[in-house]
Amino acid sequence: MAIIGAQHETASDAAAVQASRSTLSNFLTSPKSNTPPSFHEWASVTDNMGFYNISALAYWPSKAAYESWADQSGFRAWWQGLDCPEEESSNGWFIEVFLPTTDRFETLFNNDTAREGAAHMGRCMSEEVREHGYWGSMRDRIPLAQTDGLAGAGTLLKASSPPDPNSVVATTTTTTTRNRVVVPGRKNLAVIRSGQDWLDTTPEERTLYLDTMHPVLIKGMDFLRDYGDEIGCYSCRFMEIVDSKTARPDGIDRTFGLAYFDELASLERWCREHPTHLAIFGGFFKYAKKLDNHVTLRVFHEVMVLQPDQQYFEYVGCHPGTGMLATVDRAGAKEEI
């Protein structure tokens, strides 16, 4: 899974936003590659610094397929040249790549009518699972968690030597140039993408969702975004799926939270103990009760717990609060330069 995006100071410059999205789209759909993404879609968010971020979420069946696409499409060569003077841009760029093995991944849906994310690469849906609806069920669905506690590193990694310039995947170093930062992978980083789709709800359920559940969800995502460092959350973006042609969210009615935690246990504690998530969790049961459990809202999530070499984060010209840039020891990075 790769999150490849552009960061603009504002969404008001529609031409600039469309230009950056077109640049990335040309690589994702390039006829030169025989391993294009199996699935990709676009999402956007205005972050807490006021910057507008538009990004593609793209999925490949293997690391080899991703690497082949990066070479054949010309993306790798373009990306490596971004900090050259002739490639300077008024906007920033970022790429975040996750390469989970199946024993470090799980995805869950409340129905089998629509696929999301990695499930587009699957052949079928499973039957209903018993490991659901209780605290700890997320861990029980991750195969490796049955024999490994999946504890995180617990310390901040500082700047170090430059990575292999021929790679656009995992590195264990941080490097900073004039406007480029590569952030190291972290031991057992927990990544969750949790989505909501109310596109096909009845008018009554739509109103109920937007009046009751959506505001509570936003409050929880805002807490993780602004104060997540208090509980081990490095980054949280609450994003809207946007139209593939217009890059606007109008009429899409689909959102997701994308959050990075220092370890699975921190994500579990937020879910189990924090008032912002308890409000979401409890609110959903009240929501379902009002609908006599005839819920047509579609929800899903995908969770990965990653080794350092299964992660890659690189940012060019982005503000310091972008994604995993928030974990970088900026003073240490300056000293390294």
Residues carrying an active site annotation: 301
Tokens, residue 304? 């990965």
| Nearest-angstrom CA–CA distance, 291 and 317 | 47
State the first-to-last Cα distance of the chain, in angstroms, to the nearest integer.
Answer: 31
Dump the DSSP string for 157-199.
PPP-S---TT-SS--S--EE-SSEEEEPP-TTEEEEEEEEE-T
Q: Which of 110, 41, 28, 88 is nearest to 296 (CA)?
A: 110
Sign of the C-alpha dihedral computed for residues 4, 9, 14 and 19 taken in this order: negative
Q: Is 149 helix (H, G, I), strand (E, B) or coil?
A: coil
Dump the DSSP string for 232-294.
TEEEEEEEEEE-TTT---TTT-EEEEEEEESSHHHHHHHHHH-HHHHHHHHHHHHHHHHTTT-
Q: In this structure, what are the phi and psi dihedrals at residue 264, rounded to the nearest 5 degrees?
A: -60, -35
